[in-house]
Structure 1
Amino acid sequence: MSELDKLDAYLSSDDSPDDCMMLSDLDGFLHGVACSPVPIPVEEWMAVAIGGVPSDLPNWVLEGISVIFLSIIEGLASDPPEVDPIFWEAPEGHVIAMDWCEGFMQAVSLRPKDWLKLTESGIGGQLIMPIIIHILDENGNSVLGISQEDLDQTLNEAAEHIPDAVVAIHRFW
């Protein structure tokens, strides 16, 4: 079992805190923290990610999360930048990026005023669109008003653009 599989199993288990993120939303959240326009202290984002107090978790879990975060930072600093989001895969084979995008937006919500420069600018607002497209309301409807009949195709197309969007957002700052 790989370290990532071991971490995924722990996060999905009853041993983890009730409010901890699962692997896909955690990965999206960590990408959002890495792309933040202002630094977010590790103590703050780690507590959100695990839904509790870091000292309550096994050290290997905290180390695993830190390794993922550092690999995201290194990927964004590479030339060319590398972004490899952890999306769920449906039995039919298509990716499900919703949890990842919700995690990313949860990171944005840590510093909403600082993100306004991106979201309110013409070009910057478009950069985050492949992520925002995946945000649905409690009834499963698009917050952007995308019709149910077009939603699956739109989500699949948007998911393909998320790695480039993350790189562009990171470069924006």
Structure 2
Amino acid sequence: MPPQRKLPSYLRQLDHVLARLETAMLLSELDGFLAGVVICPDMILPSEWLPVALDPKEEGAPVLEHENDARLILRHYNAVLRDLDRGRYAPLFDIDTLHGEILWELWIEGFERAMALRPDVRDDLLQDVDEDVLRALVGLRRLS
């Protein structure tokens, strides 16, 4: 069975905030989404991606009750950005504690939602001559 990763306290708080909002992405999905937002060559501003994170079905994003809730989301965005930049990013996958399986599907859904924010850029990346980028994106597309 894979070890359960101990989350930093701010991520445990963020997990509770997202669960309370009901329409928001789950933590693993948000992590994949933010990774997709960060790697996009076009800057995607929080004013565009935050409503999607709070309500992926776009039925009208809920209002965050506390300013600290938004800070937690932005803190995680910055952590993903920093970790990707340093080559130390590790996706937050959920783990089925009963069977010990890594549940990667939510992370991939989040990543795909981010890519959908800039479909033309995603298509350009798939034409990229960098074989590592191409292989990674094709693999992620297959998973999604």
Range of TM-score over shorter length: 0.7 to 0.9
Q: 3-state DSSP class of the match of 2:117? A: coil
Question: Contact between 1:25 and 1:99, CA under 8 Å: does it hold in 2?
Answer: yes
How far residue 118 of structure 1 moved from its aligned partner, in angstroms, is 1.5
Deviation at 1:63? 0.6
Higher relative contact order structure (alpha carbons within 8 Å, sequence separation ≥ 6): 2
Instruction: Give distance in 1, aligned partners of 2:102 and 2:123.
Output: 29
Q: Residue 3 of structure 1: CA displacement?
A: 2.2
Residues 69-108 of structure 1 mapped to structure 2, 5 A cutoff: 69-78=77-86, 81-91=87-97, 92-108=99-115
Q: Distance in 2 between matches of 1:71 and 1:36?
A: 16
Equivalent in the alignment of 2:35: 31
Q: Is the 8 A contact 1:37 1:115 kept in 2?
A: no
Q: Give the structure 1 partner of residue 68 of structure 2.
A: 60
Deviation at 1:10, TM superposition (A): 2.4
Measured on the aligned residues, the alpha-carbon RMSD in Å equals 1.9
Q: TM-score, normalised by structure 2?
A: 0.80
Give the stretch that moved more between structures: 21-30 or 91-100: 91-100
Is 1:134 matched with 2:129? no
- Match of 2:4? none
- Select the structure of larger CA radius of gyration: 1
Query: Which 4+ runs in 1 deviate beyond 4 A?
Result: none
Change (3 A) 1:96 1:53: closer
Aligned partners of 1:97 and 1:134 also within 8 Å: no
- 1:110 matched to which residue of 2? 117
SS of the residue corresponding to residue 123 of structure 2 reads helix
Contact 1:24 1:87 survives alignment (8 Å): yes
- What is the total number of aligned residue pairs between the two structures? 129
Unaligned runs of 5+ in 2: 1-7
Q: Deviations over 1:13-63 (max 9, x none)?
A: 3xx152x11111100000000000100111000111112457x20212111
